[in-house]
Amino acid sequence: MPDKILFVVNKTSGENNNNWQAGIESYFKGKEATIDFYHLPDPVDCDSLDQYIKDAKAKKVVAVGGDGTISLVAKSVTGTSMILGVVPAGSANGMAKELMIPAKLEDALQIIEGGRQTSMDTILLNDKHLCLHLSDVGINAQLIKNFEDGDTRGKLGYFKVAWKTLVRRQALEVTIKNEDKSFCRKAIMVVIANAGKYGTGAVINPEGEIDDGLFEIVVVKRLTLWGFLKIMLSLGFDHKNIEIYQTRSVDILAKHRAHFQVDGEYIGKVDKITAIIQPGNIQIMLPEA
């Protein structure tokens, strides 16, 4: 019996000018695979999505969208025998870049069809949020909120919002408690990293591996205007202003409530974050090594 592949399509991702379903149907025409589609409504109904995925009984469930779409689908397939696939269709596609999944539709579908299946760690945050990629508290989360609240889109709009956010930046005072130590820091942001780089291409966590049973706490102590420009130009972070700690669990306590995001989704203001690794918690299709 042919494998069933369910494509969860977010039509609001990215440039909104691609007919993803037509392209996918064209690719699989004449192939031995059964394909199905679920188009995400706006706003998203998470319960309906979860139920559809369970009822579909598909071997592979593919997120067609950006980081937020991938996170939505991952929540439904985590801990099951279903395999997550990714077709990059967002604006930044940070997670897809991390996983080396190409932006061209045909190339991404070749991985869905015949790539390698591997296990991937996830991070559980505050007992309810699933992190695949990068989450943080501080200036980047505030930037995401400001961008969502604004009325301009695209790279120029992002740059304007980012610059405004940077100029008004405020330092955090945090206490970080991991498995074997507790320490206090002043920082512009603290990153909980299961991966290595943001969607801009800037590497925040050179030690990041998605399947090593560990994650990293990245403390960004300061961010200069030049450091900001390096990030925007995909030249990376100034690592002399960064501390990195590997761990399996952590508690982050902030003196004042601060902006918090998970895999590109703004969550709100928090003063405490707990994080614990969930090794090999999800199966995913990746390019051949």
Q: 162 near 170, Cβ under 8 Å?
A: no
Residue 85, φ and ψ in degrees, nearest 5? -125, 160
Q: Give, for all 289 residues of the chain, the pLDDT tens digit.
A: 678 999 999 987 766 557 899 999 999 999 988 999 999 998 889 999 999 999 999 999 999 998 889 999 999 999 899 999 999 987 778 889 889 999 999 999 999 999 999 999 999 999 999 999 999 999 888 888 877 776 665 566 666 777 677 767 778 999 999 888 899 999 999 999 998 887 777 788 888 899 999 999 999 998 776 666 666 566 666 677 889 999 999 999 999 999 999 998 899 999 999 999 999 999 999 998 7
pLDDT, position 168? 75
CATH number of 129-280: 2.60.200.40
Helical spans, DSSP H, in 65-214: 67-77, 94-98, 105-114, 139-149, 154-167
pLDDT, position 75? 92
pLDDT, position 207? 82
pLDDT, position 143? 82
pLDDT, position 159? 67
pLDDT, position 241? 84
Tell me the pTM.
0.87
Task: Report the distance separating Cα 26 and Cα 21, nearest Å.
Answer: 8
Task: Report the distance separating Cα 46 and Cα 69, nearest Å.
Answer: 11
Q: Which residues are CB-contacts of 249 (< 8 A; sequence separation ≥ 6)?
A: 178, 179, 274, 275, 276, 277
Pick the CATH number of 3-114 from 3.40.50.10300, 3.40.50.10330, 3.90.650.10, 3.50.50.60: 3.40.50.10330
pLDDT, position 6? 98
pLDDT, position 24? 96
pLDDT, position 153? 58
- In the chain, count H helices and then E strands: 8, 14
Tell me which H or E stretch contains 27: helix 20-28
pLDDT, position 201? 73
Burial 187-211 (b: 16+ CB within 10 A, else e): bbbbbbbbbbbbbbebbbbeebebe
> Structural domain boundaries of the chain?
3-114, 129-280
